[in-house]
Homo-oligomer: A and B are copies of this chain.
Amino acid sequence: MAEVTLTGGFWAKLQQTNAAATLAHCEEWMERLGWLANFDHAADGTTGPERPGWPFSDSEVYKLLEALAWEYGRTADPVHGAAVRRLTARIARAQDPDGYLNTAYGHPGRQPRYSDLEFGHELYCTGHLLQAAVARLRTYGEDELTAVARRAADHVCDVFGPSGRPDICGHPEIEAGLAELGRALGEPRYVEQARLFVERRGHGRLANVPFGIGGAAYFQDDEPVRTAGSWRGHVVRQLYLAAAAVDVAVETDDGELLAAVERQWAHTVARRTYLTGGMGSRHQGEAFGDDWELPADRAYCETCAGVASVMVSWRLYLATGDLKYADLIERTGYNLIAASPRSDGRAFFYANPLHQRAPGPAADDGAVSRRAEGGTRAAWFDVSCCPTNVARTLATWQTYLATVAGERELTLLQYADARIDATLGDGSPIALDVETAYPDDGTIAIRVRQAPPAPVTLRLRVPAWADGAWLEEGGGRRPAAPGAVVVERRLRVGEELRLHLPLSPRHTWPDPRIDALRGCVAVERGPLVLCAESVDLPPGLTLDAIAVDTASPPTDRSGGTLIRASATTDADHAWPYDNRPAPRDTPAQSTEVPLVPYHQWAERGPSAMRVWLPAAPR
């Protein structure tokens, strides 16, 4: 947290909006809807059967608290410090003497504690409470929140420990919370409890199996983490579980468990992941689809799944040093997480489809959205997991920029205007200033402000798409192949390295086995996935009736990217299947179609949108 500061550019702007608008926005909505007052009612014994919000609404308060704690750590803004203390006090009052803390269960007029492990989300909520406490611990130190978290974690260990109930929660999250808190406090009991929960899963312990949405696989209780071949079922459940499994594997030095998650990541990225990094092909069950089932229009790609995917990839990178995980973090960051918040930070996408067939209705910023459908960002949701998840992720984005390893190795993973003041493994300080207009421009200047007298290893990630990158150093230049370019020498204070990533817009083609995308092409520019929006089309044209001329490469012009396309009329035929292969509508005109970054779509009002565009026959 303290060693890297974003000083400008794409992510700094998102962080600032998050701090200035989103955090207060979330607190206001939860106050308005009574989700915060639920804690007061639990404390005062006035909960009753009409408690507002879903049973898991406590978790939104905890995720907001986590985001506030990280944000206070980043800027020390007293506004956020006060918010942390305000929320902590309300939460602490609601904790029962034995450490149990949940506003939906175990109160007069409510169901008893742990009476619905499948869908009650009690341990899930506790997991988020523990993660909030970790954020506070890592940015401030022990305070009242630590005490609340300790009591809650001890209570979980008492009830569900080796000699307690051998059960698990329908929605994984407690595992990650316990592992992180155990690590932060040096408390092996919590890590061990996380390990127990991870190992218990996959043996059909959960009853009340939701058959219509995938059965036991819905909550990953069909097969143990250690042996499963693929990620499946509810995406956020799966990815929170996988993140915790890496934590447990690392803490317990369990190479087999780590290898299992690595294998599942590889399978899922090869066969079940969208170009944006999004995961989740089905609205039904908010779930992974089968291999190669990646419809653009019905892509669910929940924002929270993007957050969870970053959590998993980050842990896998830290455990292995493999930069492919940082590649996916970059892709998911620019094209999923950054796509969710509206530019003012006060409305969000929940689902992130890659194709919107018809413009959705305009958002009503004063209303709770019940829909997770794409097309318009909503101020708040009935199930509002995404806004607070975005908030806690943006508040920590700088932490994904750089890592140190070994004696004297520093790796730059993500590129942004940043100030880095790090301590290498041997204790020597190193300071770098990064200056870049990335992702608009591909030049990344790295100026050495401080360096040890001994040689260092500086690794600069070269994204997989960056064919033709090169590094400029000491007056010379050399090619930088995808993977990493490595500088292994003594660095001189004041010297500048310049990494050049090629940012010409490029066509991207799908694997032929992805049926939903056959015959289509997308355009990417650097790390950004681009898309066409109907608001940019000439009058009379629709996104259903254009086909990309792939012989003409996409071009950058006056601040935007253009493609050339042919347009057909969009008329009906009585029956849409025909025994002749030729298109029945002849191209009527050739036109240029401007593209915008996917993360910006629907910023100008409701619009139809496509990432994947039909390629004209050549």
User: Provided the pairs A270-B573, A576-B271, A580-B509 are in contact, do residues A357 and B514 lie with their beta carbons within 8 angstroms?
Assistant: no
A518 within 8 A of B: yes
A509 to B575, CA, bound (A): 11
User: Provided the pairs A293-B297, A297-B515, A357-B290 are in contact, do residues A575 and B508 lie with their beta carbons within 8 angstroms?
Assistant: no
Report B-chain residues with C-beta under 8 Å of the C-beta of A465.
Answer: 579
A507 within 8 A of B: yes
Report B-chain residues with C-beta under 8 Å of the C-beta of A515.
Answer: 296-297, 355, 516, 520, 612, 614
A253 to B: closest C-beta gap in Å = 27
**Most chain B beta-carbon neighbours within 10 Å: one of A508, A573, A577:** A577
A358 within 8 A of B: yes
- Pairwise interchain contact B574-A370, C-beta atoms closer than 8 A: no
Q: Please encode chain A, from 548 to 576, with 1 for each CB lying within 8 Å of some chain B CB and 0 for all others.
A: 00100000000000000000101011111
- Pairwise interchain contact A509-B544, C-beta atoms closer than 8 A: no
Q: Please encode chain A, from 486 to 516, with 1 for each CB lying within 8 Å of some chain B CB and 0 for all others.
A: 0000000000000000000011111111111
Name the one of B215, B467, B575 contacting A269, with C-beta atoms under 8 angstroms: B575
- Pairwise interchain contact B324-A574, C-beta atoms closer than 8 A: yes
Report B-chain residues with C-beta under 8 Å of the C-beta of A269.
Answer: 574-575
A595 to B: closest C-beta gap in Å = 16
By beta carbon, the residue of chain B nearest A550 is B581
Report B-chain residues with C-beta under 8 Å of the C-beta of A585.
Answer: 512
Report B-chain residues with C-beta under 8 Å of the C-beta of A372.
Answer: 212
Report B-chain residues with C-beta under 8 Å of the C-beta of A212.
Answer: 370-372
**Most chain B beta-carbon neighbours within 10 Å: one of A211, A273, A510, A521:** A211
Name the one of B293, B464, B579 contacting A507, with C-beta atoms under 8 angstroms: B579
A218 to B248, CA, bound (A): 45
A293 to B547, CA, bound (A): 18
A295 within 8 A of B: yes
A36 to B: closest C-beta gap in Å = 24
Report B-chain residues with C-beta under 8 Å of the C-beta of A519.
Answer: 518-519
Q: Which A residues, 408 to 465, have Cβ-Cβ distances below 8 Å to chain B? A: 464-465
- Pairwise interchain contact A507-B574, C-beta atoms closer than 8 A: no
A292 within 8 A of B: yes
Report B-chain residues with C-beta under 8 Å of the C-beta of A267.
Answer: 572
A127 to B: closest C-beta gap in Å = 25
Report B-chain residues with C-beta under 8 Å of the C-beta of A290.
Answer: 297, 357-358
- Pairwise interchain contact A510-B577, C-beta atoms closer than 8 A: yes
- Pairwise interchain contact B514-A579, C-beta atoms closer than 8 A: no
Q: Please encode chain A, from 346 to 371, with 1 for each CB lying within 8 Å of some chain B CB and 0 for all others.
A: 00000000010110000000000011
Report B-chain residues with C-beta under 8 Å of the C-beta of A513.
Answer: 544-545, 570, 576
User: Provided the pairs A293-B298, A357-B291 are in contact, do residues A275 and B514 lie with their beta carbons within 8 angstroms?
Assistant: no
User: Provided the pairs A212-B371, A283-B284, A292-B544 are in contact, do residues A514 and B576 lie with their beta carbons within 8 angstroms?
Assistant: yes
- Pairwise interchain contact B581-A271, C-beta atoms closer than 8 A: no
User: Provided the pairs A290-B357, A293-B297, A544-B292 are in contact, do residues A273 and B512 lie with their beta carbons within 8 angstroms?
Assistant: no
- Pairwise interchain contact B284-A464, C-beta atoms closer than 8 A: no
Name the one of B215, B266, B516 contacting A516, with C-beta atoms under 8 angstroms: B516
By beta carbon, the residue of chain B nearest A510 is B577
Task: Kindly list 14 other residue pairs between chains A and B, CB separation below 8 angstroms, not including A284-B284, A292-B357.
Answer: A211-B370, A211-B371, A266-B572, A269-B575, A270-B572, A298-B298, A324-B574, A355-B515, A464-B575, A509-B579, A510-B576, A512-B614, A515-B516, A516-B516
> Would you list the 6 A-B pairs with minimal beta carbon distance, nearest first?
A211-B370, A511-B576, A519-B519, A518-B519, A290-B357, A284-B284
Interface pairs (9), CB distance under 8 Å: A270-B575, A284-B284, A289-B297, A290-B357, A293-B298, A324-B574, A509-B577, A513-B545, A513-B570
Task: List residues of chain A with CB under 8 Å of any chain B CB.
Answer: 211-212, 215, 266-267, 269-271, 273, 275, 282-284, 289-293, 295-298, 324, 355, 357-358, 370-372, 382, 464-465, 467, 506-516, 518-522, 544-545, 547, 550, 568, 570, 572-581, 583-585, 612, 614-615
